[in-house]
């Protein structure tokens, strides 16, 4: 019989992978004289090789053309953010007019909450998950305070009800049945950063809207990871970063989604010149007239040197396609899960749900024996050139990304843990 966990088997899986050539389009960091086993795309994706040339093109146009590069450059700067519109929309399952690349994730969340969190005395609350990423919690707490409400009563944090701290859809439904009339906004993750749990966004939007809530999603760990269908989900808004699975560089420009039913909305918003109607923007009038769609939430002209890496990365996603990436991702992560359960069951506990539809690339792992032993394993892996990341108090996150990770990488991680265990 074939040993499903042998190097020969892993290499055969790599050889049969229809996406294997995409790895060559990325710089793989090295450890000594060999490539790292890099499982940290959920924190910072690897650099596409074409990014350097894309940045040089913009620098060359700046040097040669100055301000005229807005109109005459290889990729003219004036409409540059439109160059990523279709590919960005395709990546998150939106209509082109529903998405825009702008700002950073937390800035976009704040700007969107200005419009979609409109609390009243009867409906002041925001629902988030307990243990939300700190930036999200800070943002919603400050939004609540800015409207004169007290987070002690207006911030509802839903605790996990499943054994590993994950949250069932039934728990969300129960919470909305109990508190829905008080909730002005549900702000929910596409994938919870610590547990790796993915959520049914369409069902959450349906449940929220049935109770009269606005529904927005933080897709920091979902964009470029899962085949999202934002338009069909019915969500009011969403925001995400693009330095994780979207491989656009540290601090990369983020994205925002506003459903088309709000395209001509007169909802309050923080306004800026670049969000003004394009047809009359340069008339420099005193009254703000928003551009229809997500573009109308822009404040400032786009940062070209930040958009160029995103353009390159999204072109790679367009060629690979999200369905194909997801198919490989499910196999990679299932292989990792199978190896852990078969060979490391006495060492690692998987926190992330086993059902493919309830997770993306990431498996969150607790080391049996407590935090100190977990840190010892994490630091050992780092010395071996195996890069995951640590999240307090006790989670190692390992995220095989289908654009550049291989089945043999996954096997290498498991072999390294086995070696540490037996040392």
Q: What is the spatial distance between Cα 5 and Cα 313, in angstroms, rounded to a whole number?
A: 32
pLDDT tens digits for range 44-73? 999 999 999 999 999 999 999 999 999 999
What's the pLDDT at 2? Answer: 60
Tens place of pLDDT per residue across the chain (423 aa): 468 889 999 999 999 999 999 999 999 999 999 999 999 999 999 999 999 999 999 999 999 999 999 999 999 999 999 999 999 999 999 999 999 999 999 999 999 999 999 999 999 999 999 999 999 999 999 999 999 999 999 999 999 999 999 999 999 999 999 999 999 999 999 999 999 999 999 999 999 999 999 999 999 999 999 999 999 999 999 999 999 999 999 999 999 999 999 999 889 999 999 999 999 999 999 999 999 999 999 999 999 999 999 999 999 999 999 999 999 999 999 999 999 999 999 999 999 999 999 999 999 999 999 999 999 999 999 999 999 999 998 899 999 999 999 999 999 999 999 999 998
Residue 262 φ/ψ, nearest 5 degrees: -100, 10
Tokens linked to 245: 């699975």
Q: Show the beta-strand stretches assigned E in 142-278.
A: 155-158, 183-189, 214-218, 237-240, 255-258
| Cα–Cα distance list, 217 to 71, 168, 202, 221 (Å) | 35, 17, 11, 11
For residue 332, whether the previous peptide bond is cis, meaning omega lies within 30 degrees of 0, is no
The domain at 55-319 falls in which architecture? 3-Layer(aba) Sandwich (3.40)
How many other CB atoms are found less than 10 A from the CB of residue 140?
25
Give the chain's length. Answer: 423
Question: Which sign does the torsion angle of CA 166, 169, 173, 174 carry?
Answer: negative
Angle 241-243-244 (CA atoms, 0-180°, nearest 5)?
Answer: 90
| DSSP letters for 278-310 | TTTGGG--SS--BPSSGGGG--S---HHHHHHH
Contacts of residue 61, Cβ cutoff 8 Å, sequence gap at least 6: 69, 73, 74, 75, 77
| Cα–Cα distance list, 136 to 42, 249, 397, 420 (Å) | 17, 21, 20, 36
Q: β-strand 34-35 against 363-367: which pairing, if any?
A: unpaired
Would you kindly state where each structural domain of the chain is located, as residue ranges? 7-47+322-422, 55-319
Distance of CA 368 to the CA centre of its chain: 29
Q: Note whether 7-47+322-422 and 55-319 share their fold.
A: no
Quick one: what percent of the chain has pLDDT higher than 70?
Answer: 100
Q: What is the spatial distance between Cα 243 and Cα 313, in angstroms, rounded to a whole number?
A: 10
Q: What is the spatial distance between Cα 17 and Cα 123, in angstroms, rounded to a whole number?
A: 51
C-alpha torsion angle, residues 308, 309, 313, 316 (rounded to 10): 60
Question: Which sign does the torsion angle of CA 172, 174, 177, 180 carry?
Answer: negative
Three-state DSSP class for 3? coil
Q: What is the spatial distance between Cα 29 and Cα 35, in angstroms, rounded to a whole number?
A: 6
Q: What is the spatial distance between Cα 147 and Cα 142, in angstroms, rounded to a whole number?
A: 9
| DSSP letters for 59-125 | HHHHHHHGGGHHHHSSS-STTGGGGGHHHHHHHHT--GGGEEE-S-HHHHHHHHHHHH----SSS-E
Stretch (H or E) spanning 384: none
Tokens linked to 91: 């990546």
What pTM was computed for the model? 0.96
What's the pLDDT at 1? Answer: 41
- CATH of span 7-47+322-422: 3.90.1150.10
Query: Closest Cα to residue 311, out of 60, 11, 83, 124?
Result: 83
């Amino acid at each position: 019989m074939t040993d499903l966990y042998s190097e020969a088997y892993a290499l055969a899986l790599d050889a049969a992978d229809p996406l294997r050539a995409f790895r060559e389009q990325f710089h793989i960091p090295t450890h000594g004289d060999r490539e790292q086993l890099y499982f940290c795309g959920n924190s910072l994706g690897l650099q596409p090789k074409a990014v350097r040339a894309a940045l040089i093109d913009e620098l060359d146009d700046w040097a040669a053309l100055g301000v005229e590069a807005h109109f005459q450059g290889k990729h003219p700067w004036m409409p540059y953010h439109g160059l990523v519109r279709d590919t960005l929309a395709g990546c998150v399952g939106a209509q082109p007019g529903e998405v825009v690349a702008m700002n950073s994730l937390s800035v976009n969340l704040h700007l969107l909450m200005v419009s979609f969190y409109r609390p009243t005395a009867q409906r002041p609350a925001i629902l988030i998950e307990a243990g939300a990423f700190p930036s999200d919690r800070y943002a919603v707490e400050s939004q609540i305070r800015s409207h004169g409400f007290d987070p002690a009563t207006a911030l509802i944090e839903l605790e996990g009800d499943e054994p590993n701290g994950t949250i069932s859809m039934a728990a969300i439904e129960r919470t909305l049945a109990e508190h829905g009339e008080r909730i002005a906004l549900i702000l929910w993750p596409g994938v919870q950063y610590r547990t790796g749990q993915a959520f049914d966004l369409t069902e959450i939007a349906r449940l929220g809207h049935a109770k009269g809530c606005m529904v927005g999603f933080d897709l920091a760990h979902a964009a470029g990871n899962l085949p999202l269908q934002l338009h069909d989900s019915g969500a009011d808004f969403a925001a995400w970063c693009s330095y994780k699975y979207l491989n656009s560089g540290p601090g990369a420009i983020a994205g925002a989604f506003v459903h088309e039913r709000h395209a001509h909305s007169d909802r309050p918003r923080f306004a800026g010149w670049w969000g003004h109607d394009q047809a009359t923007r340069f008339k420099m009038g005193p009254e703000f007239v928003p551009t229809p769609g997500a573009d109308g939430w822009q404040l400032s002209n786009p940062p070209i040197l930040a958009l160029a890496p995103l353009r390159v990365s999204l072109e790679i996603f367009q060629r690979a396609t999200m369905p194909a990436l997801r198919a490989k991702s499910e196999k990679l992560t299932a292989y990792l899960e199978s190896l852990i359960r078969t060979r490391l069951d006495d060492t690692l506990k998987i926190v992330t749900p086993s059902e493919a539809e309830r997770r993306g690339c990431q498996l969150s792992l607790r080391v049996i024996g407590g935090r100190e032993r977990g840190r010892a394993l994490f630091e050992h892996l780092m010395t071996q050139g195996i890069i995951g990341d640590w999240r307090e108090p006790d989670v190692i996150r390992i995220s095989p990304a289908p654009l550049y990770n291989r089945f043999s990488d996954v096997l290498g991680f498991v072999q390294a843990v086995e070696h540490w265990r037996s040392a």
